[in-house]
Amino acid sequence: MEVATYIDSKYLQSLYEKEEAQAEVLKLQFHLQQVLKHIYGSKSERFVSNPSQLTLDIVPETPAPATDLSKEKKIEYVRSGEIKKRNVPDLMKYIQYLDKVYETREPENIPANAIKIGEQEQVIIEHTPGKLFARIIVTPIYKIPVTDQSEKTQIISAPTPERPLAKCLAGSSLLAQMLVDKFCDHLPLHRIHKRFERNGVFIPYNTTIDWMGKSIELLSVLGPPLQKEIIQSFYIHVDETGLKVLLGKESNKVKKIHDGYLWCYHDSINKLVYFDYQPRRGEKHTIGILKDFHGILQTDGWHVYEGIAAKQKDIIQICCPATPANFL
C-alpha cells in the first residue's frame, strides 16, 4: 500500500508540475505577442511606457490551466431525410368563433313517405358591413322507401349551392368586398388581411392573394364588352398615366423596373371607364382600340392623339379646354 500511495503522489505531483509549465508557456507567449506588437504593430497598438508616470503595480493573473480534452464529450448530428412540414394555419378552426346563419334547402316535391337519412353541410364565409359570419347551408338527404321489389331505393336532396370559386370557402359577398377594398378604396392586400384579423378571423395571407387573383380572373370576361360599349359612344376622354412596373431579373439590357402606361378610356356620357395597360405611350399602343371609334376624342396636347385623328376621318380631336357642344 505504501508503494501504491507513493506512486499516486508522484503522479499527481507530475500533473501539477505539467499544468504549471503549461501556464508558464502561455504567459511567455502572451509577453512575446506584446513585444512583437510593440515592434511591428501599428501606432494605435503600440504602448510606450513613461517613466514619469505612476503605475498601479498590478500583477498579471496566471492564465488558467489548459483544458483536459480527454474529458470532453463528442457531439454528433444525424440529418434525417424527413422534411418538416410548415405549420399552415387551418382556416376551418377559426369558423367556430364566427356568428353563424343557418339556411336549409329542401328538395322540391318531397314524397309524403320520404324518410330523412342524413344531411350535408357546406360552409361559406360571407361578409356584411363591419363583420364576417359563417353561412351554414344544410341540405337534408331523403330516402324513398321501396314499395315494389322491382324498384330501386332512391336518394334525393336539394342541389348543392353554387360557389363563385370552386372549392373556396369565400362567398360572393366576401370576394366582392375584397375587390371593392382593393380597387375602389385602394387598400393594399396586407391591410385587408390585417382588417380580417381585427374582425376576429385569421385568413392566411397567401389565401387572400389566391382569392383576389381568382376573383379577377372571374371578372375578366367583362372587359371586352365594357370596351366595346365605351367605343360605341360618340364622346370619350382618353389619357395615359405613367406607372412603375416590376419585371423579372435585372440584366445588362433589361432593367428590373419598367416605365409602363395605363391608358384610360372614359365614356363621359354614360360614366363608364375602361383601363388598358401598355408598355409605351406611342400611337400604336392606342390606335388598336380607337380604330373602331367614331366621334369626339377629348385629350391633352400629346401629339399622338393628333396623329390618330389625322389617320381616321371619323374622329374629331379636341383638347381639354374645348367644349364638346361646339362640335355637335
244 and 278 together in one domain: yes
Task: Answer whether residue 135 is part of any domain.
Answer: yes
| Structure confidence at residue 256 as a pLDDT band (50, 70, 90) | confident
Task: Answer whether residue 180 is part of any domain.
Answer: yes
263 and 311 together in one domain: yes
239 and 316 together in one domain: yes
The whole-number pLDDT of residue 94 equals 76
The pLDDT of 91-97, averaged and rounded, is: 77
Q: Select from 111, 138, 162 the last residue of a domain.
A: 162
Q: Which cell numbers in the block locate residue 221?
A: 370576361
Distances (CA, A) of 93 to 90, 211, 293: 6, 19, 54
147 and 183 together in one domain: no
Task: Answer whether residue 17 is part of any domain.
Answer: no
| Structure confidence at residue 208 as a pLDDT band (50, 70, 90) | very high
Task: Answer whether residue 134 is part of any domain.
Answer: yes
| CATH number for 268 | 3.30.420.10
Q: Select from 162, 189, 208 the last residue of a domain.
A: 162
Burial letters 65-103, b for 16+ CB under 10 A, else e: eeeeeeeeeeeeeeeeeeeeeeeeeebeebbeebeeeee
Distance CA 116, CA 305 (A): 69
Q: Which cell numbers in the block locate residue 39?
A: 515592434
Q: What are 213-252's pLDDT values in tens digits? A: 999 999 999 999 999 999 999 999 999 999 888 876 666 6
For residue 116, give its domain range.
102-162
| Structure confidence at residue 48 as a pLDDT band (50, 70, 90) | low
The pLDDT of 90-114, averaged and rounded, is: 84
> Higher-confidence residue: 257 or 150?
257
Q: Is it the case that residue 62 has pLDDT exceeding 90?
A: no
Percent of the chain with pLDDT over 70: 78
248 and 291 together in one domain: yes
131 and 209 together in one domain: no
Q: Is it the case that residue 73 has pLDDT exceeding 70?
A: no
The whole-number pLDDT of residue 320 equals 75
148 and 112 together in one domain: yes
The whole-number pLDDT of residue 69 equals 55
Task: Answer whether residue 137 is part of any domain.
Answer: yes
The whole-number pLDDT of residue 88 equals 44
Task: Answer whether residue 282 is part of any domain.
Answer: yes
207 and 267 together in one domain: no
Q: What are 108-127's pLDDT values in tens digits? A: 888 888 989 899 888 888 88
Q: Is it the case that residue 51 has pLDDT exceeding 80?
A: no
130 and 210 together in one domain: no
pTM, full prediction? 0.54
209 and 293 together in one domain: no
Burial of 201 from C-beta contacts in 10 A (0-12 / 13-18 / 19+): middle
189 and 241 together in one domain: no
Torsion of CA 47, 50, 51, 55, to 10 degrees: -70
Q: Select from 120, 141, 162 the last residue of a domain.
A: 162
237 and 308 together in one domain: yes
Task: Answer whether residue 246 is part of any domain.
Answer: yes
| Structure confidence at residue 188 as a pLDDT band (50, 70, 90) | very high
What total number of domains does the chain contain?
3
The whole-number pLDDT of residue 141 equals 92
Q: Is it the case that residue 325 has pLDDT exceeding 60?
A: no
| Structure confidence at residue 324 as a pLDDT band (50, 70, 90) | low
Task: Answer whether residue 63 is part of any domain.
Answer: no
State the alpha helices, DSSP H only, in the chain: 2-40, 172-179, 189-198, 205-219, 223-231, 287-290, 303-311
pLDDT mean across residues, the chain: 81
| Structure confidence at residue 198 as a pLDDT band (50, 70, 90) | confident
